[in-house]
Amino acid sequence: MINVTIDADGIATLCWDMPGRSQNVLNEASCTALFEAIARVVQDDAVKGAIMTSAKPDFIAGGDLEWLLNTDQAAVLLERVTALHRALRKLETCGKPVAVALGGSALGGGLEVALAGHYRVAADNPKARFGLPEVTLGLLPGGGGTQRLPRLTGIQKALPLLLEGKRLKAGEALKLGIIHAVAPAGEEVAAARAWVLAQTAPVQQPWDVKGYKVPGGAVASPAVQQVLMAANAMTHAKTWGNYPAPQAILSCVYEGVNVDIDTGLAVEARYFVQMVLSKEAKNMIRSLFFSMGEANKLASRPPDVPRRRYSQVGVLGAGMMGAGIAYVAARAGMRVVLIDRDQPAADKGKGYSHKLVEKQAARGQLAPDQAQALLERITATTDYAQLAECEMVIEAVFEDRALKADVTRKAEAVMPAGAILASNTSTLPISGLAEASSRPEQFIGLHFFSPVDRMPLVEVIIGRQTSQATLAHALDFVQALGMTPIVVNDARGFYTSRVFSTYVLEGLALLAEGVAPALIENAGLQAGMPVGPLALTDEVSSELIVKIDRQTRADLGAAYQPRPGHQVAARMVELGRIGKKAGQGFYDYPDGGSKRLWPGLAEQYPRAAVQPDVAQLVERLITVQAVETVRCMEEGVLMNARDADVGAILGWGFPPFRGGPLSEIDTVGAAGFVQRCERLAASHGPRFAVPALLKTMAADGQAFYPPR
Ligand code: NAD
């Protein structure tokens, strides 16, 4: 676990090497080993100094989240962090020099352990990152990070790491004083050893030296007060208080950095336990860490199908989506045949990759030869014959059934026998599109999101005839792109578009009820959604909502139940205010200026005399999405809660602190959620009607996720 060796000079090397794991983590066993190793360094008179390092590529990846979440007992959690604090304090106050040699990354608990050393030397490793990303999972650094880091760098410089979870490269960490030196890769242990040997007097941390002052000023200094106040206001404004961790981190700094470090650590321990037990952290850890991790490891992949590696793929249609898909495939090292109906259109699609790599090269994120190689992998053409060696072809032409059928036939005429044809349609059922295919078992939906290079989700849609092997190989492709897949069964709007639209339409319904537009938008943001429903409608355009509404009405006839919001979208189209692309929708989009709510809305939708409480609106905007998600589960569109929650967070920005629509229901409890739906259905109609699945769950006391 931690191998301790003592050499002839009396230097102990504590080498982390947790068996059976690719990374070292802090958990019950490794903390016990750490405490024993520290006790030995402190108590053994033969030990003159110590080096802590790792036999793995990275130092310590952080705390083991399974371990952290395996108890709900505050006293147990408090004892765990306090024990770690005690051990690290013992190490840093023993007087013997302790150097930490970092061959790779030190993040979270890993960096916190390293901060208890007196000297940190990092290898010159471009992959290594240093930071305290706990906040991104709703936690705070509980191993002393909120206390040691600001005491080391000053409060102002520590805040971006603590509040945003910023990860630094070795050079940046050196500049901030988080590490003391960078050594050539492989020489970091020798450099650490040289430093330990050079120490002739007892060593102390700066904060244990009498008269120590926090660099840049203490909490009480006017400049720091100003920074803390601004940070406080900003975190609140950005998150509407939905995320308690940034506030707790600020409290740790505010209350802890002015007092002695032991008191500061006690403050941190208290807030840390509060955060671990918070529903926000539990939701974020479940969805952003565990569920997303499972999705990325292809938990939905049919087993026993051999993996497929992709070297060449085709993309039909070099428009906005096709150009983006070509770029991410080339970025992943694949050769790409990018086809459009004429050469200038195909070239324009490749031009998109040009722009992206140029930007990255200018920022130094991509070497010129890498940029060149990426572009060379993309062939822009009109010639379908070039698809002859493509293992996968993604269709991204206009949203038109006949056109999609035509290009499918053309492509399949030249594609190799085992190749897959994937449609990027956003609204057309996959099984219908597969009717044009001569091999429907090798036809699947791969729904990318715009902009493709920044949106990590791919909704994989299984058609009626899609084979298990095709599903497995499509998932291999998504994984090779470095993106996150969710798997759904074919249905109108699939999963993401269907549930996302309920948020938008509920916002429009509120407008029709006479709720003030600014209140609707604020409610969306307070609910934790990234954009208000009216602004979002303008982004997708009221025209598209109306088009889908008409198509659904034509397909379903009497069975179709439009939502009240549809009428509002239709009205906006009549008024010619179709959305952002027309420069006018619910907002005006003046050239060069920022958008403003259209004053004419007051005339179209007069305000009701009594405005609802914002909390009621938040409840409606979130509940409408959660109910529709349950319907997707009930109808078998979704196959598990994991894909529902991951898809919602990554696909349309469902608030991570809620953990996704199904985590939201678990947080409220099925019984409570049923009551909520019944109440909303009574006043707002059948779109809130309780799905039978939820009634059963409430009656049986079930949840979507088993307790961890
Ligand atoms: P787009 O209009 O930007 O691009 C479509 C491209 O297809 C154009 O370049 C056009 O010249 C080309 N094309 C038309 N006929 C062709 C033919 N016979 N052969 C080859 N190329 C042909 O559209 P887009 O936004 O990129 O959407 C493409 C598909 O992706 C649609 O099915 C759409 O529903 C879907 N989609 C779009 C989004 C989005 O946000 N725009 C998101 C997900 C999925």
Assembly ipTM: 0.99
Residue 563 sits in which domain range?
A: 497-636+640-700
What is the residue with the minimal CA distance to atom 12 of ligand 1?
Answer: 317
| Atom number of ligand 1 nearest to Cα 349 | 9
Q: Which of 313, 312, 317 is nearest to 408 (CA)?
A: 317
pLDDT beyond 70 at 432: yes
- Tell me if 341 CB under 6 Å of ligand 1: yes
> What φ, ψ does residue 186 adopt, rounded to 5°?
95, -15
- Tell me if 407 CB under 6 Å of ligand 1: yes
- CA 399, CA 581: separation in Å to the nearest integer? 18
**Number of CB atoms found within 10 A of residue 249's CB:** 28
pTM value is 0.93
102-151 tens-digit pLDDT: 999 999 999 999 999 999 999 999 999 999 999 999 999 999 999 999 99
Specify whether 486 is located in the same domain as 533.
no
What is the 706 CA–ligand 1 centroid distance (Å)? Answer: 41
- Tell me if 339 CB under 6 Å of ligand 1: yes
pLDDT of residue 298: 96
- Tell me if 517 CB under 6 Å of ligand 1: no
Q: For 438-466, what is the mean pLDDT?
A: 97
The domain spanning residue 618 has which CATH number?
1.10.1040.50
What is the 398 CA–ligand 1 centroid distance (Å)? Answer: 4
Last residue of a domain, which of 224, 251, 277?
Answer: 277
Q: Would 507 be classed as within a structural domain?
A: yes
What angle, rounded to 10 degrees, do the helices at 614-634 and 661-668 form? 110
Amino acid symbol at 665: I
- Tell me if 316 CB under 6 Å of ligand 1: yes
Q: Would 301 be classed as within a structural domain?
A: no
What is the residue with the minimal CA distance to atom 28 of ligand 1?
Answer: 396
Specify whether 468 is located in the same domain as 565.
no
Q: Which of 339, 393, 397, 428 to mutate to test the pocket of ligand 1 (most atoms within 8 A of CB)?
A: 397
Amino acid symbol at 496: T
- Tell me if 320 CB under 6 Å of ligand 1: yes
Contact 548, 556 (CB under 8 A): no
| Atom number of ligand 1 nearest to Cα 382 | 20
Specify whether 178 is located in the same domain as 58.
yes
3-40 tens-digit pLDDT: 999 999 999 999 999 999 999 999 999 999 999 999 99
What is the 321 CA–ligand 1 centroid distance (Å)? Answer: 6
- Tell me if 438 CB under 6 Å of ligand 1: no
pLDDT beyond 90 at 223: no
| Atom number of ligand 1 nearest to Cα 450 | 40
Last residue of a domain, which of 460, 491, 522?
Answer: 491
What is the 319 CA–ligand 1 centroid distance (Å)? Answer: 5
What is the 399 CA–ligand 1 centroid distance (Å)? Answer: 7
pLDDT of residue 514: 97
- Tell me if 496 CB under 6 Å of ligand 1: no
Give the mean pLDDT of the chain: 95
pLDDT of residue 708: 67
Q: Would 518 be classed as within a structural domain?
A: yes
- Tell me if 398 CB under 6 Å of ligand 1: yes
What is the 106 CA–ligand 1 centroid distance (Å)? Answer: 43
Q: Which of 251, 256, 239, 240 is nearest to 275 (CA)?
A: 251
**Helical segments of 413-486, H only:** 430-433, 468-480
Last residue of a domain, which of 456, 491, 526?
Answer: 491
- Tell me if 544 CB under 6 Å of ligand 1: no
Return the sign of the alpha-carbon dihedral for residues 62, 65, 66, 70: positive
- Helix, strand, coil distribution of the chain in percent, nearest 5: 55, 10, 35
- CA 394, CA 556: separation in Å to the nearest integer? 29
In the numeric block, the tokens 């080391």 are attached to 152
pLDDT beyond 90 at 234: no
Q: For 67-96, what is the mean pLDDT?
A: 93
- Tell me if 399 CB under 6 Å of ligand 1: yes
The enclosing H or E element of 662 equals: helix 661-668
Q: Which of 58, 182, 179 is nearest to 127 (CA)?
A: 58
> What φ, ψ does residue 11 adopt, rounded to 5°?
-100, 120
Specify whether 384 is located in the same domain as 501.
no
What is the 404 CA–ligand 1 centroid distance (Å)? Answer: 10
Q: Would 134 be classed as within a structural domain?
A: yes
Q: Would 66 be classed as within a structural domain?
A: yes
| Atom number of ligand 1 nearest to Cα 321 | 26
**Helical segments of 72-154, H only:** 74-92, 109-115, 145-153
- Tell me if 455 CB under 6 Å of ligand 1: no
Specify whether 654 is located in the same domain as 509.
yes
Cα dihedral 114, 115, 119, 123, rounded to 10, equals: 50
What is the residue with the minimal CA distance to atom 31 of ligand 1?
Answer: 399
Buried b (16+ CB within 10 A) or exposed e, 589-599: beeeeebebbe
Confidence of residue 238 (pLDDT cuts 50, 70, 90): confident
Specify whether 213 is located in the same domain as 232.
yes
Confidence of residue 470 (pLDDT cuts 50, 70, 90): very high
Q: For 41-67, what is the mean pLDDT?
A: 94
- Tell me if 317 CB under 6 Å of ligand 1: yes
Q: Which of 320, 337, 545, 650 to mutate to test the pocket of ligand 1 (most atoms within 8 A of CB)?
A: 320
What is the 45 CA–ligand 1 centroid distance (Å)? Answer: 73
| Atom number of ligand 1 nearest to Cα 318 | 9
Q: Percentage of residues in the chain with pLDDT exceeding 90?
A: 91
567-to-7, 179, 300, 513, 584 alpha-carbon distances in Å: 80, 60, 39, 12, 18
Specify whether 483 is located in the same domain as 530.
no
DSSP 353-370: HHHHHHHHHHTTSS-HHH
Per this entry, what is the length of the chain? 708
Q: Would 296 be classed as within a structural domain?
A: no
580-634 tens-digit pLDDT: 999 999 999 999 889 999 999 999 999 999 999 999 999 999 999 999 999 999 9
- CA 90, CA 113: separation in Å to the nearest integer? 12
Instruction: Tally the domains of the chain.
Output: 3
Specify whether 417 is located in the same domain as 346.
yes
pLDDT of residue 658: 97
Specify whether 480 is located in the same domain as 610.
no
| Atom number of ligand 1 nearest to Cα 406 | 18
Contact 42, 681 (CB under 8 A): no
What is the 175 CA–ligand 1 centroid distance (Å)? Answer: 47
What is the 318 CA–ligand 1 centroid distance (Å)? Answer: 7
Out of 57-66, 488-497, 504-513, give the one with best mean pLDDT: 504-513
The domain spanning residue 318 has which CATH number?
3.40.50.720
| Atom number of ligand 1 nearest to Cα 397 | 7
SS (H, E, C) 568-630: HHHHHHHCCCCEHHHCECCEECCCCCCCEECCCHHHHCCCCCCCCCHHHHHHHHHHHHHHHHH
- CA 118, CA 129: separation in Å to the nearest integer? 20
- Tell me if 393 CB under 6 Å of ligand 1: no
The DSSP 8-state label assigned to residue 288 in this structure reads: I
pLDDT of residue 493: 87
- Burial class of residue 225 in the structure, from the number of CB atoms within 10 Å of its CB (0-12 exposed, 13-18 middle, 19+ buried): middle
Q: Would 306 be classed as within a structural domain?
A: no
What is the 314 CA–ligand 1 centroid distance (Å)? Answer: 14
Q: Would 299 be classed as within a structural domain?
A: no
The domain spanning residue 48 has which CATH number?
3.90.226.10
Specify whether 473 is located in the same domain as 509.
no
317-to-326, 382, 452, 676, 698 alpha-carbon distances in Å: 10, 10, 14, 46, 47
* Catalytic residue ranges: 447
- CA 439, CA 44: separation in Å to the nearest integer? 72
In the numeric block, the tokens 């006017």 are attached to 222
Specify whether 501 is located in the same domain as 487.
no
Specify whether 662 is located in the same domain as 526.
yes
- Tell me if 405 CB under 6 Å of ligand 1: no
166-199 tens-digit pLDDT: 999 999 999 999 999 999 999 999 999 999 999 9
Q: Which of 340, 395, 427 to mutate to test the pocket of ligand 1 (most atoms within 8 A of CB)?
A: 340
